[in-house]
Chains A and B, each alone.
Chain A
């Protein structure tokens, strides 16, 4: 036992010497330095790293949404004469940081990124800024302004309101409905839900009989919907926080012989499109991943050429309501004209 304690102390001592060894440098001076460089770079035009390479960093492209982003960014940037290096951070903020550092070493002209975390990404974007490389964020924001050049995201609130209006109309302004929520820790889940209710709650005859979190997941939505249908077999409609849950809910409704009642989602995935065309779902709000990507590339190009984008840093891109009428034009998060 004594030895065990001793060994723990030894390990501890090791850590402390390490901490002290590294901590010798005066922290206040390094802090001052940091604020200085920050104020210096705030309004400075970032020239890019020197090459004509654009780094496109997205979450895993095994998801069609991000695949679309990577594909469109790559194609558009190539059209403008850039070399593109596209990669995925797999939602690992450390991996993303490493990719930013590689981009800096590679003298990238610009970085376009759908980031791995609103807080955990700030430092990476700052590092790029310090190296004179402008970052353009798409789809997801970060919790700090003045670091990235653009933050282009879909207007979830407007999109959810839009589909909610279609839902109310399809329900004939009355009836019992169920809501499937996204992951509670995700702000988008709350934004979408409150937008739904802002519209639906205006109608007195619309009654929510159940509300459950299915965490954005298809299987979970299927299971939860099945359970809800046990206690509420006579529902008239379902609202879902995203299209993945919509697919799960529709499958459960089909099992219960309720296919065809109004169901809405948000995202604009191809799976939801197919269900809408088959008449099993009513509407979804398309987050224009393709359009957002095109905007990012264009703004990166403008910025590198003219030193400004001429637009605000935070930009909201409206969602498009997808119903039977325009669903056939939707493909891979892009609506053909």
Chain B
């Protein structure tokens, strides 16, 4: 009996570290498959790409922990990018005064980020006050944000968003550059990850959102302000997406209204691969970042191996499903172990 339990514990550790294992296996595999994969340069490139999914994934992790989902993230990224690009290239036109205000870059970033937060707030209000299911609410705001992104320029691209010296709004493109070889996106990812991890693990707010995801009614009865906390979570997700949109725009030195189409899938996949439970109540920032790395390594690895895009989609889909299946398996096993431990006593 005891021996069997020990075996099970061993399986459990293996299961718990599985995301890391998958990542390691993938890296080893692609290193053999493509000779230029296991280099510092490729590592930095992968990290740069991962930053986009990772930041978005962190916001998504918070949302999924509350038991919700945010489909608007990709569209919000596109929208924020368009706001930033528009403010730099065209400024803010105030019609009735006949003047155009150009903001300096920190203000541009702040305003664009607030636009993302605003859509997040809208998500939160629709979900908590009007009791619309998160899937539907964010599906709606996804279309709204995408439409607004296109409306900002009538479908056109804001090109060369570097600003002009005389207007004092140069420097936006630094978000897409590297410092001492480290891409700005990666630095931002690290900062956000640290803040998010602290929020989630060491603050009452963090405990509250776990409680909401675990059992909303119980959380409410024990004094958690469910509506308020849920809304903040969606605002945080909107903020993360807006930041991603700005980084993406800075990398291209252009804002394109279609930026971020389909990225919600990458964000959800990163969270789920990282062990976040779609049922809510379970998830971690570290897990999501590893999940994002898995997606990044698969993307870039398959690109460098010349795998066709159709196969890439199939493989990515299978990896995500496999992750969830193993997740279920782990949970069942955990319950079994707990039961055995109780019986042994």
Contact = CB atoms under 8 A, between A and B. Distances in A.
Interface string A1-16: 0011001100110111
Interface in A144-186: 185
B123 to A, nearest CB: 14
A105 B243 contact: no
A11 B117 contact: yes
B193 interface: no
B13 interface: no
A219 interface: no
A256 interface: no
A57 to B, nearest CB: 9
A14 B195 contact: yes
* Interface size of B as a range: 35 or more
Interface stretch (B14-22, B133-141, B215-223, B297-305): B297-305
Contacts, number: 152
B261 to A, nearest CB: 6
Contacts of A28: 170
Contacts of A88: 309
B187 interface: yes
A16 B254 contact: no
B306 A92 contact: no
B191 A123 contact: no
Q: Which of B52, B106, B309 has the most CB of A within 10 A?
A: B309
A30 B171 CA distance: 9
Interface in A11-59: 11-12, 14-16, 18-23, 25, 27-28, 30-31, 51
B252 A97 contact: yes
A87 B239 contact: no
Given A102-B304, A122-B159, A123-B252, A94 B52 contact: yes
B299 A94 contact: no
A11 B239 CA distance: 8
Contacts of A94: 52, 248, 251-252, 259-260
B160 interface: yes
B174 A25 contact: yes
B117 A85 contact: no
B157 A118 contact: yes
Interface stretch (B107-115, B278-286, B319-327, B337-345): B107-115
B109 A119 contact: no
B306 A23 contact: no
Contacts of B304: 85, 102, 105-106
A91 interface: yes
A14 B159 CA distance: 28
A87 B309 contact: yes
Given A90-B309, A102-B300, A122-B159, A12 B184 contact: no
Main secondary structure of the interface of A (DSSP, over half): helix
Contacts of B236: 11
A123 B308 contact: no
A120 interface: yes
A200 B204 CA distance: 73
A19 B109 contact: yes
27 contacts: A8-B114, A11-B113, A11-B235, A12-B113, A15-B109, A21-B191, A23-B106, A25-B174, A25-B179, A51-B36, A60-B309, A85-B306, A86-B308, A87-B309, A88-B309, A94-B52, A97-B252, A101-B45, A102-B45, A102-B300, A105-B37, A105-B42, A119-B159, A123-B254, A124-B252, A185-B154, A185-B156
Given A23-B171, A102-B45, A102-B303, 4 more contacts: A12-B110, A18-B109, A85-B303, A120-B252
Interface of B: 34, 36-37, 39, 41-42, 45, 48-49, 52, 105-106, 109-110, 113-114, 117, 154-160, 162, 170-171, 174-177, 179, 184, 187-188, 191, 195, 228, 231-232, 235-236, 239, 243, 248, 251-254, 256, 258-262, 299-300, 303-306, 308-309
